[in-house]
Structures are given as structure tokens and as C-alpha cells.
Amino acid sequence: MFVSLPPSAGAATMGDMLRRIVHVVFDGFQLLDLAGPADVFATAGLLARPGGYRVEVAAGRAGPVAANTGIRVEATTALADVGGEIDTLIVSGGLSVRRHLGDPELAAQLRRISGLARRTASVCNGALLLAEAGLLAGRRATTHWLAAGELARRYPDVTVDADRIHQRDGDVWTSAGVTAGIDLALALVADDHGARLAHDVARGLVVYLHRPGGQSQFSAAMTAPASPDGTMRELQAYIDGNPGADLSVPALARRTGLSERHFARVFTERVGTPPGRYVERSRAEAARRLLETTDHPLDRIARETGIGAPETLFRVFRRLWRVAPGEYRRRFTMS
């Protein structure tokens, strides 16, 4: 299947009043990273009088570019040919990003084009490409929760906030995974035209203007990886399998035969997080699974997972995932 993205609505009559968006793609890019923001900008163009957007797709070479789905998108411009004034440079993400991290020409072109743009942005793990080009150095950024650890390891000069849906640091914007590109584009529209237009665009697209909570609510387990230490690994399995048990430091220390002080130090060193924090997150994960798979009332879930009271369950969810337990259940229930 072949898709060619037309200019945003109004291009024929608004001319130079349109904000020029250069959206960079590459073989294997995530199609929604382009399509989601493009629809936001097109809808804003329908509603903004005057002042819409013109989306220009660019790649290493002009011509068809295959997305991760096999759908081909027409890149109207080669990166080397991009010039002139640019309002916003946006870089897509995708599973193929890692194949492009070692491409010095791509990094050089992103640096050059970013210098022409009023602001620079990335969707999903496209943040890795911005970081490879040196555009995130000394900045705070976010990315897909699956790629956050890699972004932090590869580029230690970037401060990674893995829970943000989108992040702005000066004239550089980054977003979380895939559909968060829509959230990012809405934020860009709000920055350009105000919250009212962004609200109207969100209503038209049937999406949140401000998505409740952070992206960690969509992620896999937040508990630490298994320790290479056999004793601590067994203890982790016990904690994860028995959330309602006595998991206090004294009780856990007794299971290992260590003094409380020595146990706390060894656990923290070998697991990577203090025992109290590990227990809290493990219990929160157990509560999250029960919210998704049962219709148990909140007081029963809090009691069975060792969290205690519904009020404590609420505080833990708000702190870890920025969402209330009841709201989490409404979004993710399997019943």
C-alpha cells in the first residue's frame, strides 16, 4: 500500500502563513509516529484561521519509504536538500532506529536541519536519533518506556524522565511511545495557538488533550530485575509471590539469617533498590494485576496485597503511576 501525505488543509490559500513541519522518516519507521501528529496538524489547519501547518516528509532519499507495517510513504524531500526556514523538525521512532544510530550522515543532517528550525522534536525512540546527533546533550528528555534505559545508558549527558508523556526543554521536545506523538503534537499546537484550539483539535480526534497519568501506567512490571545473588533472588521471588505476608525488614532479615542492618545493606547492593521500596513496588504490581483481572473492591485488593487501606493504595498509585486505582481499572480491566 502506498500513501502520499498532502499538505495540511488550507495550503492552497494560506501560502507562507503556514507553519512548515519537516517530519523525518526512515525504513522501518513507526507509521503512527508520522500519521498521528500529521492528523493533529491537519485538523488544526482546518480550525486555525489564519495559520495552519504544512507537513513535509523527508528521508535519506526522496521517494517511497516503507514503514514498519509495510505501508510506503512518499518522502518528498531528501534530507540533504532540506533548506530554508523551518518551524518544526520532527523525527519519528520505530523498531529500526538502532540500525540507524551508527549513520554519521543521518546524524549530521539532523544537526544541520535542527539549526534551521525554530524547534526540534522526536516521537517515541526517535529521541535516540536526536541524542546521537548531539541535540539532547545537557537536556531533559523522554522516550518510549522500553527505550528509556537505553537512552540513559548510551547518552549519560541526557537526563531521562521515563514517565513523561512528553517533555519540553527549551526549543527541544520529546515524547513517549507511539500514540504519545499525538499528545506531543497537541502540545505544539497549544504552544502555537493556545489551549482552546488544541482542545478543539483533541475533541475532533476523540483523544485526551492532557492524558491522565504518566506512561509508566502502560509499562511492564516496575520491580527490579532478579539479582544474580541466589539468596537475594530467592527472596525477591518470595516477596513477589507473597505480597500479603509480613515483608518488614526484620522479617526478611530473619529469612536470610542476617542482621537487619547487614541485610538492608546487602539487599540494596545486590538488588539495586532498598528492601522497603522493593516491597512497596512489588505490592503495587500485585494490586495492579488484581485491578486488571478481578472485580475485587479496592479495600480487598489493598488488604490482600499487604498495602493495607484503600487510602494507602490510592497514594501509592498516584505516586507511582499518577493515576487513581479506580481510573486505572476503568482503562485496563480485562473483565
pTM of this structure: 0.70
Range(s) of the chain covered by CATH 3.40.50.880 = 2-215
Give the model's confidence band at 15: pLDDT under 50 very low, under 70 low, under 90 confident, else very high: very low
pLDDT of residue 80: 98
Mean pLDDT of 136-155: 93
Residues 236-240: contacts with CB under 8 Å, at least 24 apart? 236/271, 236/278, 239/278, 239/279, 239/282, 240/282, 240/285, 240/286
Residue (of 171, 202, 164) closest to 185 by Cα position: 202
pLDDT digits (tens, 9 = 90+) for 280-327: 999 998 998 898 888 899 999 999 999 999 999 999 998 888 889 998
Range(s) of the chain covered by CATH 1.10.10.60 = 230-332
pLDDT digits (tens, 9 = 90+) for 256-281: 999 999 999 999 999 888 999 999 99
- Mean pLDDT of all residues belonging to the chain: 89
Q: By the 8 A CB rule, do 202 and 209 touch?
A: yes
Q: Looking at the structure, give the CATH architecture of the domain made up of residues 2-215.
A: 3-Layer(aba) Sandwich (3.40)
Assign a CATH topology to domain 230-332. Arc Repressor Mutant, subunit A (1.10.10)
